[in-house]
Structure 1
């Protein structure tokens, strides 16, 4: 376990170093403040919105009692995390479309609609998997 942990820490440190070098070499210095502000906003959004939503969702499922197993809770948590990550990735495009782009060919997709459809798909797949796990649990229990 120690070797695996050390390897993962080393890999994470190496990838962070590569990302730092790519950032410094690939992003003009005048844009650093905007990128860093966006990253700080992503951290705040995660800690203030997404993490509490996952916690509340887990608590609500646990209050449902014995009818909800740990696997179903895990599926819902994964769905919330994936949806939160997609929202975080789509936000700059949605915001840029609201502000209006200097070049209309840059923002060619309806990012808000695509995000809504992605959340609908995540919700449908999550519901299906939770129901299937529940049915399987009833048969084996």
Structure 2
């Protein structure tokens, strides 16, 4: 396992270096700076805004068997919203209407509804499994000892 992680780390580093070199060589002169600013903004948006909101919402979730599922659903919903928000918040029509040909607002709503349904199913399944385990433990003959 340690060797596989090392190989993946070296491969990932090599790909990042190749991408950085390609960005530096094959783009116009100001583009690397603009990409760095965009990546910095994405980092702030994720680590400051999204992570904080998800953490606060996760703290509001009551303890229980479905808590992990609800937190996971919050992370997926937050990431999906963060990815789509620049498209939804962009003023005006796109220059090329074929690039953004979908209704991203409706699709985000459908995705969030699907995430909510799957999260509820996983959380309910966790509660049912915990209840089944508790009944099985209490029904054992040596449970009172």
Structure 1 CA distance, aligned partners of 2:6 and 2:86? 30
Bigger Rg over Cα: 2
- Structure 2 residue aligned with 1:11, among 8, 11, 14? 8
Asked if residue 25 in structure 1 is aligned to residue 22 in structure 2, the reply is yes
Structure 1 111/32 Cα, relative in aligned 2: closer, same or farther at 3 Å? farther
User: What's the secondary structure of 1:91's corresponding residue?
Assistant: helix
Number of residues of Structure 1 aligned to a counterpart in Structure 2: 131
Against the structure 1 CA distance between its residues 14 and 45, is the aligned structure 2 distance closer, same or farther, given a 3 Å change threshold? same
TM-score, scaled to structure 1: 0.74
Aligned to 2:40: 40
Gaps of 5+ in 1: none
Q: 1:28-81: CA deviations, max 9, x gaps?
A: 2333333222211111111222212232233222xx35xx13xx2221222222
Q: TM-score, normalised by structure 2?
A: 0.72
Give the whole-Å Cα distance in 2 for the aligned partners of 1:110 and 1:89: 14
Number of the residue aligned with 1:56: 56
What is the root-mean-square deviation of aligned Cα atoms in Å? 2.5
